[in-house]
Amino acid sequence: MKIISYNVNGIRAAFKKDFIGWLSSSQPDVLCLQETKAQKKQVDVEAIEKLGYHHYWFSAQKKGYSGVALICKQKPNHIEFGTGIEQMDFEGRIIRADFDDCSVISMYLPSGTNPARLEYKFEFMDQFRAYLADLQKQIPNLVVCGDYNICHKAIDIHDPVRNKNVSGFLPEERAWMDQLVNQGFVDSFRELNQEPHQYSWWSYRANSRANNKGWRLDYALVSAPLQNKITRAYILSEAHHSDHCPVAVELDLNEI
């Protein structure tokens, strides 16, 4: 199973940059999208369907804001829109697809751009970790993809010293990522790749992408029972539809 996660920073804008051509050539089994910034009716879903995909959208109540989606070759057994917790769900940040051998989540963690949003981010983090803990009891085989808006380790950010007090690299945020690992999740990319200077987001300012001054904010976390099923994990930095680029994990589920 090839799973790609991509914060597209506006799916309609991505369509104008040949998103469909990219999807056709990438051929993921499951594509997790974040920050779609659109309602389903605003998207050219026929172009997605022509490629043989099923698609599911969970949008924010506020138009043009946030939103997640799942695009799948195989029709899932079940789609869960949100978590059932209103405080988490009104911004359209979590959608889950259940398949025979695993469940895949597309998750868009809030950013802490100001004190009020940082407080909301911390609340969301606590609630999401508790949600996952309950979910792990029901569905042990989980892949939690998305834009976490957190760099876990110093290796995941171009300038850890100057950014140590910036949301996205705060000690509390990094400790929360540690808690997820201790809760039974594996960072699939770091499981197979220990090289530095591997990022998934770059600021639009100061020519950051060209100079590779980035942050690794996007992850495919895999629950421990799937750890030995990881065959590849990589960053698709050549994709240029967004200020993020896609990240991918491939799993061999044949023996489950």
Active site residues: 147
- Cα 159–163–165 angle (5° rounding)? 160
Name the one residue in this structure whose structure tokens are 């100079």.
211
Rg of the chain on CA atoms, in Å? 17
What distances in angstroms separate CA 52 from CA 56, 81, 123, one per listed residue?
Answer: 14, 22, 38
DSSP 110: P
SS (H, E, C) 56-103: EEECCCCCCCCCEEEEECCCCCEEEECCCCHHHHCCCCEEEEECCCCE
Give the C-alpha separation, 130 to 139, whole Å. 14
Q: Are the beta carbons of 179 and 167 closer than 8 angstroms? A: no
Q: Which residues pair with 146 in a beta bridge?
A: 107, 219
Residue 133, number of CB atoms within 10 A of its CB: 13
